[in-house]
Amino acid sequence: MTQPPGGGAGDGGEERDEEALVEQVAGAYRPRAREELRYHPAWHDLDEPARVRAYEIGRAMRKLESALDAEGMSTTARAVLARIEGR
C-alpha cells in the first residue's frame, strides 16, 4: 500500500514533496500569463540544488520530446510558436 503524501517526520515525506516540485518545474507546462514571463510557481519552493536538478531533467525531457516529434520540436518550442502565431 502507498503512503499518503506529506507524512510525518522521518518518513521521507519532505523528499517526496521536493521530488514532486522538481517534476512540476522540469515539465513543459507553465500557467499562462498575459504579458509577462512567469516561472512555474513551484520554482520558488525549491532550493538551489533542486532547481539545478529540475533544469537538468527539463533539458533531458526537451531533447526526448524533440527526438520524438516529426518536426524536431519540443513541447516548449511548440508552445512558444503558438504564442507568436496568436494561437
Residues 56, 14: Cα–Cα separation, whole Å: 21
The total number of structural domains that make up the chain = 1
Whether 64 is covered by a domain: the verdict is yes
Domain extent at residue 21: 13-84
In a domain? residue 46: yes
What are the pLDDT digits (tens) for 11-25?
A: 567 778 888 888 888
Residue 8 within any structural domain of the chain = no
Per the domain annotation, does 4 fall within a domain?
A: no
Nine-digit cell string for 29: 507546462
Q: Does the residue 18 lie in any domain?
A: yes
- Does residue 44 lie in a domain region? yes
Number of Cβ within 10 Å of residue 30's Cβ equals 15
pTM for this one? 0.59
Q: What is the pLDDT of residues 36-87, one digit of tens each?
A: 666 777 888 889 999 999 989 989 989 999 999 999 999 888 888 888 888 7
